[in-house]
Amino acid sequence: MRNWASLLGPLGAVALVFGLLSIFLWLAGAPTDFAWIWGNLLVGVVLLAVALAAGLDSLRERLRSGEARRASRYGTAAVFSTLLGIAILGMLGFLAARNPIRFDWSEAGIHSLSEQTRNVLGGLEQEVDVTAFVTPGEAGQVRDLLDRYAYESPKFRVEYADPTARPDLVEKLGVSPEKLGRGVVRVAIAGESVELDELDEEKLTNALVKLTRQGTKKVYFLEGHGERPLAGEAGDGKEGFSRAANALRNENYQVEALLLAQKGEVPDDADVVVLAGPTRPLLDEERAALERYLERKGSLLVLLDPRTRADLEADLERFGVSIGSDVVVDRLQGMFGRAATPFAGEYASHPITGGLREVTLFHVARSVRPTEAAGGRFTEIVKTSPDSWAERDLEAFFGEGRAELAETDLRGPVSLAVAGRPIVAGAEEDAEPAPHAGIEPEKRTEGPRLVVVGDSDFASNQLLDGYRNKDLFVNSVNWLLGDVEAIAVRPNTSRPSRVELSTRQLSTIRTLALFVLPEAIAFLGVYAWWSRRRAPGR
């Protein structure tokens, strides 16, 4: 029995230590199973009592010998070292809690906020009060994102509330009870608020943009010439532009369709006019109205696909942009080997593309370059790889599906988009601005702006959310509007996969990881020590 006492004593000490550790964690707020706590304490006390009773005579003999003094000395040193280590770890934990530093070592930075979000948080001038009405089981998922915002800006304040425990707060803030079942995050700034029932970085940042951006600017999409549809079944299809329109609305811009032949003139409240892939010619009166709009210091975004019949080449040439009668081909950097669906990752040092690091994806695009007459008015903002070229034999490409680099073709890198100041009457920056009720004075002094892209597919519903297509499209509109501070790299819509666990499952995993497995390892360690001690020759 004495041999077994030397085993039962350490085992009881291990059980007692883990029981006391569970109590400390419970006092610190960690959810803990009380049956586990009391079970460990009871097993520990019983084993220690049995070991003490079985080895009482042996203990008396050791206390009379010099071995007891040596054991006491070594034991005291071990206890002191253990307590010192615990104190150091506690101090480090205290300092880490008071001075937190976050690291994101994931390859894609999926746990970091995007550039756009950091810009919005850095520009906050007022306090943001966020109230998350979530159950305790869902609080961890919501806290993971909201804590990143709070860490980035001291003006971002978060309060977590269980809707069943805080009905007074629900009534005070006027939150709809129907939404509480799914969880609601309320974002408020200076009396204005937005409620989010689905939380991700894109929706939360868009809410901040809507609450902080002053005034509303309007973007018109031209229609009536086979342009990409914005609404309805066609607008929601893969060729539509409903997602592009929603991306602009998320920037707090108003989006409307414009039938220019009916209006006769571009409306006075138009800040930007978009021609998204027209396939039929514009009337002479419509082209003249667009030119008058540019003369009034307006801004125009033209997305023009190859082989369209929009008949805008001559107008763009007069403005200072040469749009090629060709198709860009890249056999080495095409998507899944599709030569007519090239990636473009060479960007100019321009406000639209200065922050882009990842590629954008185009489909059946044409080359776009400044004319010689434009001088330095335009910048080639996006180019394909050096292995690409602009195929000018369109009959062979579209008729036979054949593309071969010839002397007459334009060798890569091929420019797919330009941005700058068009050549129109009164476009010189030192010219006297023409008075117009619909253009603000500071807008008139800036002069007209023009962005031309040789493809409209990149901003379609099918491709907009891929790679950096959305950033290129929205940043172009930001620049045309003069909202340079809004230009940024936006959050990715795809997020890392999550395993949804219930509160009970999460508690079980925590108990296994923090208590059961470590305690089992400690028990096995004690048993291995005891077995080696009893081995022959020792």
The answer, yes or no, to whether residue 103 has pLDDT greater than 70, is no
The average pLDDT across 521-529 equals 77
Question: Do the strands 299-303 and 321-323 form a parallel or antiparallel pair, or are they unpaired?
Answer: unpaired
Q: What does the pLDDT read at residue 175?
A: 79
Query: Which stretch, 85-89, 248-252, 443-447, has highest mean pLDDT?
Result: 248-252
Q: Is the pLDDT of residue 463 over 70?
A: yes
The residue-averaged pLDDT of 164-171 equals 82
Burial tier of 87 (Cβ tally within 10 Å: 0-12, 13-18, 19+): exposed
> What is the β-pairing status of strands 217-222 and 253-258?
parallel
Fold of the domain spanning 213-486:
Rossmann fold (3.40.50)
Cβ-contact 145, 200 below 8 angstroms: yes
Percent of the chain with pLDDT over 90: 35
What's the whole-number mean pLDDT along residues 373-387? Answer: 93
**Contact residues for 258 (Cβ-Cβ < 8 A; gap 6+):** 220, 221, 222, 223, 266, 267, 270, 273
pLDDT of residue 53: 73
Residue 245 amino acid letter: A
Domain map of the chain by residue range? Answer: 2-64+500-534, 115-202, 213-486
Position 434 confidence tier, pLDDT thresholds 50, 70, 90: very low
Q: What's the mean pLDDT when you consider all of the chain?
A: 81
What fold characterizes domain 115-202? Glutaredoxin (3.40.30)
Identify the pLDDT of residue 87: 78
- Higher pLDDT, residue 58 or 279: 279
Is 368 in contact with 326 (CB distance < 8 Å)? no
Work out the pLDDT band at 68, boundaries 50, 70, 90.
low
Q: In the predicted model, is pLDDT for residue 329 greater than 50?
A: yes
pTM: 0.65
Question: So what's the pLDDT on residue 439?
Answer: 37
In terms of Cα–Cα distance, which of 92, 85, 163, 90 is closest to 131? 163
Give the pLDDT confidence score for residue 403 in this predicted structure.
87
Classify the phi-psi angles of 303: left when phi > 0, otherwise alpha if psi is within -120 to 50, otherwise beta: beta
